[in-house]
Amino acid sequence: MSKITVLNGFDEADPRLNMPITITRANGVNSTRWKPIDTTLGAAIRMFTDHKEMAHKNGHAVVLGDCVEGPRRATAVKSLSFLALDIDSGVGRDALVERVIASGHMAVIHTTHSHGSTSRKVLCDALVQWAIANGRSEEITDGLVQAYLARSMVEEVATTAQITAKADETAGPTLIVSHSPVSKFRVLFPFKERFVLAEQGALQRDGINAYPALPRAMSEILAVMHDRAAEDVARGFYLPSHAPGAAFESIVVGGDLLDWRTLLPSGPNGGLRATNSPTTTAGKVLSSWAKAKAEGFQMADVIEEFAPERVRDRIGLGLVIECPHDHRHSNPGDANDMACLAMNAGDGSKTSRFAIRCQHHSCADLTSLDHLGAMIDAQWFPAAVLMDDDFNALIETSAPMPPIPLTREASTEMVETAIRNILCTDLGELEKARALKEARQQAQVAAADFKLIEKRVRREMTPSAEPATAPISATEATRLQGQFPLPSPSHGDFSMRQFDGRPWVYLDRGDGPVRLWTPWTIVAGTQHVDQAGKRGLRIAALDEDGNTSQFDVSARDIFSAFGGEFRMRLREAGVGMTEAGEAQCVRLAREIAPSSPIAIFDHGGWRDEGLFLSPWGSTPKGVNRPVEMAHESMPSGEEQCGTLDGWTAATAAAWGTDVLQFRVAPLISFASVLVDMCGQDSFFVAWSSRTSRGKSTSAKLQAAVWGSTKARAGLYGPLNGTDNAVEARFAMGTGAGYAFDETNLVDGGKLQLMIYKGSGNAGNDRLTRSASLRKARTWRGMYTLTGEHEIMGKIRSAGVAATTGLGARVVEIDCEATSPLPRETMDGIEAAFQNTGHAGLAFVSSVIAQGLNRERDEFWQDVEHKAVEIAGDGAPPAVVRAARIAALLWFAGKIAQTAGLIPSDNDLGLGQSLDETIAEFWRRAQESSLTPANSEDVTIQTLFETLLRGRGGRVPDDVSGGFGKADAWRLDAHLTKFGEDAYVVPMSSLKELSGGALNPKALAGQLRARGHLITYRRADGEERTAFDYVPGLGKVSSVVIRASAVEGDDVMLPLAA
């Protein structure tokens, strides 16, 4: 034996180890040849600590007691000598050992074959069902999986779960989930006396039912979650094994032998369930039935008759079945799960009631009625079976039904005849249901198709009792058929008549007209361009009050489930249909495919050369094909109000002031068109001031270019909501921009991440309900942020490192010095809010007229040259990139002036021309702490602030913890040879501590150039920046930074939260 740890005084010479016991052994858990073996407690402990190296866990297995030789059955177990717990929740080794020792009992603990596993499978259906039952979103995300796993795993493991893949398996769509390594142990407690099943009551079944209380009580003592499958008295346990090279361990703990009587619940029922009252709604509704009919009910026979596919094994007189509450289990979809047993009344004991029992922890409080109700809800069998005397052993049964003469080659007509013959008999409804099922199985017709044929036959057998119809006047018929044309004659002889006060469409099949539906028609085809070109139809419908409405329906809804979703949508729109009409509606929708479908897009902007859509789906003049924006992607407010002249007058008023943000605001919307046209990364402009200085007004002026200026109704709104909601606003602003107001609603860390995500033009990947990958949202544009604090200040206050690349993505302007304008002037400017939605498309039309969209590459080269001009000769690349924002605004202004959207320079006063406006914009941007020109200073500032925040934590004042226990060290002069207080920072930590913008060597050079480093000279006279050896730490390549530099007055401490 190897890797055996002996704890708490276990002694191999202990005379108790000579106690005789019996275990039952076989070559595998699925073996049918189990044989009891007499041995001693000591020999059993040696067997349970002998870890074998095996590629797979399949191997010798044992039942922990004395069984009748032969198949492994609960009814064959005579006694048990051990109590076992399988603990797969991830509880740590040390914590588990401490709890076992604290219990005071002798025990064997060994790792199982899957110990340390880092992945598991999660059945999608089970996950979604659990989400619905717990009031959660059905969207499959890492967070949902983590919450789901937290039911059976410790929090430290569950919170690390991530979806890595999806697999199609026999149980259904399955997620492959990775997580941190999970500790898995088996704990075995030897009994002081054997647990004899026959001594627990008058019946063997009493002992079987009493035993689960023991492992449950022990798991409570140890404060662990255990696998409920081990509560089966006949549970087969594999002997210890581990994969080649895997970690494993066996532990023996000394203590008292376990007296199983101390674990039994107090009270007259002992370990038996104290109540048989159902706990679920489905179970409670069966309570009245149970009083009258549950006696003698043959549960196992019903399952074999109607749901044989749910049977997994036969054990004695019972059936091992798929649990009807499988979605609750920790291993949903596991076809090898044998924890649920169903038995007929009277089988296995003298009770006259049936039994359904599941050993899983999640099913502990469920009764037989709860399980039976779930079976009926899941349509394992019809509810009528409960009243069928053929399935009650206490009632004399009727003669069996004769076989139905059908074969797998049966035609539809033959199936219809068989169904009609069955329905015409005098049989009860249950006998008819059984006969219909047998007919379907013999003909091998899909259940859904058979149901459709059955429905048609039943409809034909139901006599019609309609009142007389009346013709519609010629004028009314012409009007209605103009809106709702009848299907073409190629589809049948259709006409329109009056019935019960409403117009109806009739079909004459040769034996008189048959009423079908109230007016509806196919308006056009649809094609969702951004959803792989998925097709559908646009439907117009007339309701009972004479109102017309339209809706879209997908091809999937038309062609799946007999068009059920399509028929439901028609009903919701107020369309009346007979049963015959429902089938005809679906048939027409499937057969008709209109030409020139409406192209529906999920976001606006440039969709191809010459085609541009506003966020509301509007296009410039000259677009001759039908295009739209998906309704769910459009802003909720009105697109247009007022006139373009009204907007240009208001904009001219804004340009006649010295308020920079008012002049630049519309240019940002126009520049978004250019960013999207050129396929570039998105940019940001930020307006900040502690007091009201027109920030929100500028955001509304930007939004007015395209539509509504009401918060969240157009392209303007507060920066709050989920990541998903923010992504939706980014996408809504493609080619148009979006003004995010009130950055104070999010912390600096989240704001920084949002800017990086926004500039990256794509959102997070997400999964659909079926766990397939949903296409991530994409966008391009120029977006604005307004708030009371500078972005760098917010980042510092959040205690996170600022990345120097931020300044190349966002230009920030301090608006604090803005002077208030007279009310009369503001009224003229704010008139833009009543003249919205005209300027954007006018700008796009000018771009198209100048041919810029056809020469986008050449245009972008012009933008690059202008950015270099604005940044100045020799400017670093990051500064040039930031200057692209100013260059784009300049070009947007030039195009807008050409289109007459903003005043020409000749109409503007001193300092208000386009060139002067952009020059002021860039000058004030350079004054911001975000400017890329200060990237090295920002990096050093970030490093110093991180060191200060880490004092007393990851930056200790001594080296006692050694290397690897800290990020850096702050050492007093007397502890070093440097002659002054200093910070010792390993080169390996330098980049992370400074925000990651510069490589360690470059950053060390910048620190040295500014005089912040303590250096040394080698024997050959060379001055070295980094020390190769640090007293107390050893050989650690480090830079030594003067404490006076880090802690000087120039360092900006984090803002108070």
Q: What is the pLDDT of residues 626-657, one digit of tens each?
A: 999 998 889 999 999 999 999 999 999 999 99
| N-to-C CA span, the chain | 58
Which of these ranges, 1-10, 495-504, 1020-1029, has the smallest mean pLDDT? 1-10
Judge whether residue 384 has pLDDT over 80: no
Q: Distance between CA 544 and CA 900 in Å, rounded?
A: 51
Judge whether residue 738 has pLDDT over 60: yes
356: left (phi over 0), alpha (psi -120 to 50) or beta: beta
> Whose CA is closest to 740, among 787, 776, 772, 706?
787
Q: Are residues 593 and 516 in the same domain?
A: yes
Q: Distance between CA 685 and CA 933 in Å, rounded?
A: 17
The three state secondary structure string of 93-155 is HHHHHHHHHHHCECEEEEECCCCCEEEEEEEHHHHHHHHHHCCCCCCCCHHHHHHHHCCCCCH
Q: How far, CA to CA in Å, does 135 sit from each of 128, 139, 995? A: 10, 12, 40
pLDDT band at 425 (very low <50, low <70, confident <90, very high): confident
Strand order of the β-sheet with 598-601 is: 548-554, 534-542, 520-528, 598-601, 627-629
Report pLDDT digits (tens) over 12-26.
Answer: 888 899 999 999 999
* Structure confidence at residue 411 (pLDDT): 66
Q: Distance between CA 31 and CA 681 in Å, rounded?
A: 64
Report yes or no on 423 lying in a domain: yes
Judge whether residue 1049 has pLDDT over 60: no
**Stretch (H or E) spanning 686:** strand 683-688
The three state secondary structure string of 263-283 is HCCCCCCCCCCCCCCCCCHHH
Phi, psi of 3 (to 5 degrees): 55, 45
In this structure, how many other beta carbons lie within 10 angstroms of the beta carbon of residue 55?
9
Report yes or no on 920 lying in a domain: yes
Pairing state between β 318-321 and 782-787: unpaired
* Structure confidence at residue 574 (pLDDT): 94
Report pLDDT digits (tens) over 769-821.
Answer: 445 566 788 999 999 999 988 998 888 788 776 776 788 899 999 998 888 99
CB 804 within 8 A of CB 752: no
* Structure confidence at residue 352 (pLDDT): 65
Judge whether residue 851 has pLDDT over 80: yes
pLDDT band at 437 (very low <50, low <70, confident <90, very high): confident
Q: Are residues 97 and 161 in the same domain?
A: no
> Whose CA is closest to 389, among 397, 380, 381?
397
> Whose CA is closest to 272, among 190, 349, 371?
349
* Structure confidence at residue 963 (pLDDT): 62
In this structure, how many other beta carbons lie within 10 angstroms of the beta carbon of residue 472?
18
The three state secondary structure string of 781-805 is CEEEEEECCCHHHHHHHCCCCCCHH
Joined together, the tokens standing for residue 968 give: 């850096």
In this structure, how many other beta carbons lie within 10 angstroms of the beta carbon of residue 762?
15
Report yes or no on 272 lying in a domain: no
DSSP 33: -
Average pLDDT, rounded, for the chain: 85
Q: Which residues, other chains included, contact 369 with Cβ-Cβ below 8 Å and sequence gap of 6+?
A: 276, 278, 283, 284, 286, 287, 290, 294
Range of the domain at 944: 934-1046
Q: Are residues 589 and 489 in the same domain?
A: yes
Q: Are residues 945 and 920 in the same domain?
A: no
> Which of 908, 926, 944 marks a domain boundary?
926
> Whose CA is closest to 226, among 153, 157, 159?
153
Report yes or no on 11 lying in a domain: yes
Q: Distance between CA 577 and CA 568 in Å, rounded?
A: 11
> Whose CA is closest to 578, among 509, 518, 503, 631?
518
Report yes or no on 468 lying in a domain: no
Per DSSP, the three-state class of 1007 is helix
Report yes or no on 1036 lying in a domain: yes
Q: Are residues 154 and 192 in the same domain?
A: no
Q: Which residues, other chains included, contact 569 with Cβ-Cβ below 8 Å and sequence gap of 6+?
A: 539, 551, 553, 557
- Greater confidence (299 vs 692) lies with 299
> Whose CA is closest to 765, among 164, 169, 168?
164
Q: E strands along 807-873, which residues?
A: 810-814
Q: Are residues 846 and 715 in the same domain?
A: yes
* Structure confidence at residue 529 (pLDDT): 92
Joined together, the tokens standing for residue 392 give: 């009650």
Q: Are residues 172 and 232 in the same domain?
A: no
In 307-411, alpha helices (H): 368-377
Number of domains the chain is built from? 7
Burial of 878 (0-12, 13-18, 19+ CB in 10 A): buried
Per DSSP, the three-state class of 741 is strand
Q: Distance between CA 311 and CA 890 in Å, rounded?
A: 74
Q: Are residues 97 and 154 in the same domain?
A: no
DSSP 431: H
Strand order of the β-sheet with 355-358 is: 311-315, 318-321, 340-343, 355-358
Judge whether residue 462 has pLDDT over 70: no
pLDDT band at 528 (very low <50, low <70, confident <90, very high): very high
Q: Distance between CA 713 and CA 708 in Å, rounded?
A: 6
Q: Are residues 648 and 500 in the same domain?
A: no
Per DSSP, the three-state class of 879 is helix
Q: Distance between CA 252 and CA 46 in Å, rounded?
A: 10
The overall longest dimension of the chain from CA atoms, in Å, is 116
Q: Are residues 199 and 344 in the same domain?
A: no
Joined together, the tokens standing for residue 83 give: 């109590």
Judge whether residue 267 has pLDDT over 70: no
**Stretch (H or E) spanning 42:** helix 41-49
pLDDT band at 508 (very low <50, low <70, confident <90, very high): confident
Joined together, the tokens standing for residue 598 give: 């409406």
* Structure confidence at residue 317 (pLDDT): 65
CB 780 within 8 A of CB 673: no
Q: Which residues, other chains included, contact 969 with Cβ-Cβ below 8 Å and sequence gap of 6+?
A: 955, 956, 957, 958, 959, 983, 984, 1033
Report pLDDT digits (tens) over 813-848.
Answer: 999 888 899 999 999 999 999 999 999 999 999 999
Q: Distance between CA 66 and CA 195 in Å, rounded?
A: 10
Burial of 219 (0-12, 13-18, 19+ CB in 10 A): buried
User: What's the whole-number mean pLDDT along residues 229-236?
Assistant: 89
Q: Are residues 982 and 891 in the same domain?
A: no
pLDDT band at 523 (very low <50, low <70, confident <90, very high): very high
Report pLDDT digits (tens) over 752-771.
Answer: 989 999 998 888 766 554 45
* Structure confidence at residue 469 (pLDDT): 60
Q: Distance between CA 661 and CA 702 in Å, rounded?
A: 10
At how many degrees (to 10) do helices 644-655 and 695-704 cross?
150
Report yes or no on 704 lying in a domain: yes
> Whose CA is closest to 177, among 127, 142, 225?
142
In 934-986, alpha helices (H): 935-949
Report pLDDT digits (tens) over 942-976.
Answer: 888 888 888 888 888 887 776 667 889 898 877 66
CB 729 within 8 A of CB 615: no
At how many degrees (to 10) do helices 914-926 and 660-678 cross?
90
DSSP 199: G
> Which of 575, 599, 623 marks a domain boundary?
599
Q: Distance between CA 103 and CA 255 in Å, rounded?
A: 9
CB 319 within 8 A of CB 341: yes
Judge whether residue 941 has pLDDT over 70: yes
What Rg, from alpha-carbon coordinates, does the chain have? 39
Report yes or no on 403 lying in a domain: no
> Which of 263, 297, 320 marks a domain boundary?
263
Q: Distance between CA 297 and CA 355 in Å, rounded?
A: 9
> Whose CA is closest to 525, among 594, 467, 464, 581?
594
Q: Are residues 710 and 699 in the same domain?
A: yes
- Greater confidence (446 vs 151) lies with 151
